[in-house]
Amino acid sequence: MALATIDSVLEQIDELVRNAADHDDLQFRLRLEELVKIGGRDTENAIAHYLTGNYVSVPTRLNLVRIAGYIRRTAFLVPLNKVIEFGKDERLREAAIISISKYNDRRALDILDRALEKNKNRQLQETIASAINRIKHNNPLLIMLPRFLQGGKNSEDFLITVKVFKKILSPADAKGFISYLQNEDPLVSAGSFEILCCRGNETVFFFISEFFRERSRSLIQALNRPQSAEALAKLIAALHEYLNRHPDFFPQLRPDITALLGRAGGSLWGKLLTTLLADMGDGSGSPG
């Protein structure tokens, strides 16, 4: 977008905020949303600046805080959090809590958890607690994630949770499991790989490929333990599922898969590798 256009949009936002009393709430919100769509990131930053500024009236800031919850841009999270932490007006703080809850994700939950811990105002604590419960109720990922992260401490719950996540998560939700691939609990890291393979899109391929290479090498070195062969079979099955959905990535992993096949013998995981290669249209051989 041309600089002149951005400047024009920012000027219109300034004028709209300065003259907010001349518009009813709906007109104000609709016009501001329109300007955000036109101006993009620069206009988001301008609104973020107004959220924490004391140079506009409280009613106007209330409108801005509420609009931030409707628009739900990342740029608004930090200033909304500042309103909760440092705001002097209780109406503004309550509105900021409600707006953050509308993000309905892990970021919002983390902000509200910290706010609940820090805030000593009983009324605000109740508002925060209600917002947290609303997010958890609306987002099964956030309800079930603690059970997933228990891993080996409660393997039965963990396995059930993995099955559920593999059915319900969106690609965006699945992407959040990249951070658990290096978890110290091997069940959590392996489960994260399964979830990424089952629900992830093309943007997670780098992490899937690197994890597969690293984990398969370590498991090959420990094949004297029965659980290593089982873990390797699960690793291959999960990768197969991902490559079935994104076959264009197969050539990048073909050398790793064929090298692994050369060490498979008559194992179950060797048969899984052979099936994978056949499904990818590659007759590179069979276990020796």
pLDDT, residue 288, reads 45
Mean pLDDT in residue range 155-173 = 93
Assign 87 to helix, strand or coil. Answer: coil
Range of the domain at 113: 3-138
Q: Does any domain span residue 284?
A: no
Final residue in a domain of this structure, among 103, 121, 138: 138
Give domain status of residue 285, yes or no: no
Same domain, 110 and 160: no
* Residue 118, burial from CB neighbour count under 10 angstroms (0-12, 13-18, 19+): exposed
Max avg pLDDT among 54-58, 254-258, 262-266: 254-258
Structure confidence at residue 287 (pLDDT): 47
Does residue 288 fall inside a structural domain?
A: no
Helix axes 122-138, 140-150, angle to 10 degrees: 80
Separation CA 264–CA 62 (nearest Å)? 65
Of the two residues 73 and 181, the one the predictor is more confident about is: 181
Q: Are residues 131 and 159 in the same domain?
A: no
286 lies in some domain: no
Are residue 118 and residue 204 in the same domain, yes or no?
A: no
Percent of the chain at pLDDT above 70?
91
What pLDDT was estimated at residue 196? 97
- The CATH number for 110's domain is 1.25.40
pLDDT digits (tens, 9 = 90+) for 31-60: 777 777 776 777 777 778 878 877 777 888
In a domain, 227, yes or no: yes
Residue 4 confidence class, pLDDT cut points 50, 70, 90: very low
Instruction: Kindly give, in sequence order, each residue whose CB lies less than 8 Å from that of residue 225, ignoring residues fewer than 6 positions away.
Output: none
Mean pLDDT (whole number) for 85-98: 90
Return d(Cα 207, Cα 214) in angstroms, integer: 11
* Residue where a domain terminates, one of 72, 107, 138: 138
Residue 199 lies in a domain: yes
In the block, residue with structure tokens 């004391």: 54
Would you say residue 287 lies in a domain?
no
Q: Are residues 131 and 188 in the same domain?
A: no
pLDDT of residue 3: 40
The pairs formed by 60-65 with CB atoms below 8 angstroms and a separation of 24 or more are 60/17, 60/20, 60/21, 61/92, 62/91, 62/92, 62/95, 63/20, 63/25, 63/28, 63/29, 64/17, 64/32, 65/92, 65/95, 65/96, 65/99
Distance between CA atoms of residues 212 and 209, nearest Å: 5
The three-state secondary structure class of 200 is: coil
Angle between helices 268-279 and 226-245 (to 10 degrees): 10
What's the pTM value of the predicted model, to 2 decimals?
0.66
SS3 146: helix
- The least confident of 17-26, 101-110, 146-155 is 17-26
Question: What's the structural domain count of the chain?
Answer: 2
Is 237 within 8 Å of 216 (Cβ atoms)? no
Provide the sign of the torsion angle of the four alpha carbons 236, 242, 247, 252, taken in this order. negative
Model confidence over 193-248: pLDDT tens digits? 999 999 999 999 999 999 999 999 999 999 888 899 999 999 999 999 999 999 99
- Which percentage of the chain shows pLDDT scores above 90? 53
pLDDT digits (tens, 9 = 90+) for 125-158: 999 999 998 888 888 888 899 999 999 999 999 9
Query: 28 with 104, same domain?
Result: yes
Q: Are residues 80 and 160 located together in one domain of the fold?
A: no
211 and 104: one domain?
no
- Does residue 78 lie in a domain region? yes
- Output the furthest CA–CA distance in the chain (Å, rounded): 81
pLDDT of residue 283: 53
Q: What is the pLDDT of residue 95?
A: 92
Q: What is the Cα–Cα distance from 2 to 10, expressed in whole angstroms?
A: 13
